[in-house]
Amino acid sequence: MSLVVVGSIALDTVITPKGRRDDAVGGSATFFSLSAERLSRVNMVGVVGKDFPLTAIREFEARNIDLRGLEVREGKTFRWGGIYRKSMKERETIFTELNVFESFSPVLPPEYRQCDFLFLANIHPALQLQVLDQMEGKPLVGLDTMNLWIETARDDLIKAIRRSHIIIINDEEIIQLTEEPYLVDAVRKVRELGPHTVIVKKGKYGAELFHYEHHGVYPICPENRLEDPTGAGDSFAGGFMGYLASRGARECCYEDYHEAMIYGTVMASFLVESFSTDKLASLTDPEIRERLKMFKHLLKSKTS
Ligand code: AMP
């Protein structure tokens, strides 16, 4: 089943207690796609400048990623810089340079408009709405966002949430968005806007799934090492949506959502082991299978 993602494609400067990377390939659509393409073909919508490394574009092309929705424009690629302190829980944005993003207006190739699954990765909510407006079918819509848009583009963000079925958001953001201090109240408020599924990411405490009347709590997958958490949420979303798309049906059942949470968690656990896309790009299928097995075993031992 076809999966479309719109989001940022970036050159990131990241500093963590484990080291530093300058102008490394990143962005919400990048991490999402490299994670989802393991399970389902991904159609990527975004923009880069002429300075974006050709090797990275070749890397996408060599994978299960369709680039007809990728615009390469005169100018510089979107750049973002972040620093993580000791525990890596808190992240501080050091700069955001919009560059080609400033005048970006996504135009979907006609084939993408009939997609079955659409993910609105972290990007300005006005652009998320533009993509929704171009849909000709009735895709299952997932959405991610960040504190910046809750603060600066709240009205557009609420409009986009009203048109989504699944929202993937972190615990601080959902409380900021709803102004409800308790998670269950915050989730209820978001669901009143429209989404039937809310996934709350809680950093090293894992994630919670609220799907209709079901509720599931998922720990993180104990990874070998934590080097750079940038993109963990996007690669979680990629594993999650990639799994749903691989099931084929728009109306997935709770067991599919449960399995999708597992895939998302496992893909995010690989992402954090290295800077940028290093680990995601070099990951083998046996490594994924092995970790899925280990994580499922862990979940079973927690419930029995
Ligand atoms: P995450 O760690 O999942 O929050 O995602 C980090 C990625 O988000 C980085 O690769 C950044 O390039 C990207 N990013 C940061 N700020 C923005 C923004 N304002 N709009 C879109 N993408 C962003």
Nearest atom in ligand 1 to the alpha carbon of residue 27 is: 10
Using alpha carbons, select from 131, 291, 264 the residue that is nearest to residue 199: 264
Q: Name the amino acid, one letter, at 153.
A: A
Residue 182, exposed/middle/buried by CB under 10 A (0-12, 13-18, 19+)?
exposed
CA of 268 from ligand 1 middle (Å) equals: 15
What are the pocket residues of ligand 1 if the criterion is a CB atom closer than 6 Å to any ligand atom? Answer: 8, 10, 12, 26-28, 80, 96, 122-123, 148, 230-234
| Residue pair 46/28 in contact by the 8 Å Cβ criterion | no
CATH topology assigned to domain 3-8+27-67+107-303: UDP-N-acetylmuramoyl-L-alanine:D-glutamate ligase (3.40.1190)
Q: What is the pLDDT of residue 198?
A: 98
Q: What is the pLDDT of residue 88?
A: 83
DSSP H or E segment with residue 178: helix 171-178
- Number of Cβ atoms within 10 Å of the Cβ of 266: 26
The whole-angstrom separation of Cα 154 and Cα 176 is 11
Q: What is the pLDDT of residue 304?
A: 64
Task: Give rounded-to-5 percent helix, strand, coil for the chain.
Answer: 45, 25, 30
Residue carrying the six token digits 């209820």: 188
Residue carrying the six token digits 């899925």: 292
**Segment 83-126, tens digit of pLDDT:** 998 878 788 999 999 999 999 999 999 999 999 999 999 999 99
- Name which residue sits closest to atom 5 of ligand 1, judged by CA: 231
Distance of CA 172 to the CA centre of its chain: 17
DSSP H or E segment with residue 245: helix 232-247
CA of 229 from ligand 1 middle (Å) equals: 11
Domain boundaries, the chain: 3-8+27-67+107-303
- Name which residue sits closest to atom 16 of ligand 1, judged by CA: 80
Q: What is the pLDDT of residue 30?
A: 98
CA of 2 from ligand 1 middle (Å) equals: 24
Nearest atom in ligand 1 to the alpha carbon of residue 234 is: 3
Averages of pLDDT over each 10 residues, the chain, 304 residues: 94 96 98 97 98 96 96 97 88 95 94 96 96 96 96 97 97 96 97 97 94 95 87 98 89 90 97 96 95 94 73
- To test the pocket of ligand 1, the residue of 25, 100, 122, 157 to mutate (highest count of ligand atoms within 8 Å of its CB) is 122
